[in-house]
Amino acid sequence: MHVHLRRPLAAVLSAIAVVSASACGASDAETTGEPIASGPAGPTAYPLTFDNCGTKVTFRRSPRRVLILNGTSVGEVESFLMLGLGGTVVANAQSYGVSDDPSMIGRIKALPTGGVTMNRNFDVPAEQVLKLRPDLVVSTWSGGFDAKKGFATREQLAAAGITSLVNPVNCASGKPDATPAEKTAHKNQSINSSLEFLLLLGRIFDVQQRATTLVDGLRARVDAVRRRVASQRKKVLIAYPGMAMMNANGLPAVMTGGIYDDVIRAAGGVNAFSGQGENLTRTLSREQLAAAQVDVLVVGLFTPQEKGDAEAAKLFAAYPQWRASRTRTYTVVSDGVYLGPLNAAGVEKIAEAVRSGG
């Protein structure tokens, strides 16, 4: 989901991103004040107005010129593509180069970029956003509208007649005055959070039936895995060797908490560092990693140049005491464990390794 790392873990993998318990169908939307779409709905009644991260947004029609900011995420652009909304995108700044849905790589690359270039904070600067004249700007996090980083503010965009939207579960990310509810929603990201964003886009773009059908299908895939692996509880470690710059000790970025735990749980496992927060990625020591109980290794790919099999072999050689090292039990993922519409693919991959782990 991200080719560059430019901010702390929770924001980097908002998708990257985040959280722990599997939320009920409406919890994330309720805590952030977002409209909830559950089941087939009639046509959107415009103007559509609701609160988004404390900002009142109004859609007078389905957006036709969308700019998707980078935010080190790919979850938003993938959501647009899976809903058949790629034609509304006039500029996309999100890219990754590797995906658990290989077709995504080419589909994202084919989207227009609008000729935008990133500033030193690795997102589209204010002047370029305004020059494009979009009718909607989408950011994975509130920080995408931070003037201190050179970005257009939501107020500035509104004054220019441009609507802005933050992925609701990430309201607290990059928002100094985030409410307790927003902080809770961000902390408790889950697979459900990914699905809620699809439903929200369905309502904004008046494609509710399409969104509901897609979400029902993705949820059914995850639920089918849950039933198959209900009796499994293997210890699973998600490690991104290519993100070693995120760890103070140069170790692979080990993901825990939030959506990572939820994906692993749906696949029949338990995070090897369950209960730890996102700070673990930065502070994990070699001793802690060596002492971990690891039945299944999940190698995360960060760039297209990385080879999952080779990275798994390196980790097995470095930590031969893991049970996974002795049984050579591993799988390879990329964006399927991040906030985004590909969680079902991530769950299926991990579940297969859990089941074959002996």
- Tell me if 12 is assigned to some domain: no
Q: Which of 265, 336, 341 is nearest to 296 (CA)?
A: 265
CA distance 231 to 282: 32
CA distance 338 to 137: 21
Q: Residue 33: is its pLDDT beyond 70? A: no
- Do 110 and 203 share a structural domain? yes
Task: Please give the tally of structural domains in the chain.
Answer: 2
Give per-residue pLDDT as tens, 155-164.
Answer: 999 999 999 9
Which of the four pLDDT bands, split at 50, 70 and 90, describes residue 276? Answer: confident
> Tokens 């920080």 identify what position?
143
- What pLDDT was estimated at residue 295? 97
- Tell me if 4 is assigned to some domain: no
CA distance 305 to 320: 25
Please give the mean pLDDT across all residues of the chain.
89
DSSP string, 261-327: HHHHHHTTEEETTTT--THHHHH--HHHHHHS--SEEEEEP-STT--HHHHHHHHHHH-TTSHHHHH
Q: Residue 356: is its pLDDT beyond 90? A: no
Q: Which of 296, 288, 75 is nearest to 173 (CA)?
A: 75
- Do 192 and 58 share a structural domain? yes
Helices (H), the chain: 9-12, 27-32, 75-82, 103-109, 126-132, 154-159, 180-187, 191-204, 208-228, 258-266, 279-283, 286-291, 308-318, 323-327, 343-356
- Do 218 and 167 share a structural domain? yes
Q: Residue 269: is its pLDDT beyond 80? A: yes
Three-state DSSP class for residue 352: helix
- What pLDDT was estimated at residue 41? 67
- What pLDDT was estimated at residue 232? 74
> Tokens 């995850």 identify what position?
222
**What does the buried/exposed string (b/e) look like for 78-105 if buried means 16 or more CB atoms within 10 Å of the residue's CB?**
bbbbbbebbebbbbbbbbbbbbbbeebb
Three-state DSSP class for residue 134: coil
- Find the CATH number of the domain harbouring 89: 3.40.50.1980
- Do 295 and 216 share a structural domain? no
- Do 204 and 162 share a structural domain? yes
Last residue of a domain, one of 165, 187, 222: 222
User: Which of the two residues, 117 and 26, has the higher pLDDT score?
Assistant: 117
- Tell me if 90 is assigned to some domain: yes
CA distance 294 to 325: 8
- Do 240 and 111 share a structural domain? no
Containing structural domain, residue 253: 231-356
Q: Which of 183, 200, 182, 210 is nearest to 136 (CA)?
A: 200
What's at 14, amino acid-wise? S
Q: Residue 30: is its pLDDT beyond 70? A: no
Give per-residue pLDDT as tens, 114-152.
Answer: 999 999 999 999 999 999 999 999 999 999 999 999 999
Q: Residue 2: is its pLDDT beyond 80? A: no
**What average pLDDT does range 81-93 have in this prediction?**
98
Segment holding 237, helix H or strand E: strand 234-240
Percent of the chain predicted with pLDDT > 90:
84
**Lowest-confidence segment of 14-28, 46-60, 218-232 by average pLDDT:** 14-28
- Tell me if 334 is assigned to some domain: yes
- Tell me if 179 is assigned to some domain: yes
> pTM of the prediction?
0.89
**What average pLDDT does range 168-186 have in this prediction?**
97
- Do 211 and 238 share a structural domain? no
Give per-residue pLDDT as tens, 280-324.
Answer: 999 999 999 999 999 999 999 999 999 999 999 999 999 999 999
- Tell me if 1 is assigned to some domain: no
- What pLDDT was estimated at residue 65? 98
Q: Hey, how many other C-beta atoms are within 10 angstroms of the C-beta on 161?
A: 8
CB–CB of 84/207 below 8 Å?
yes
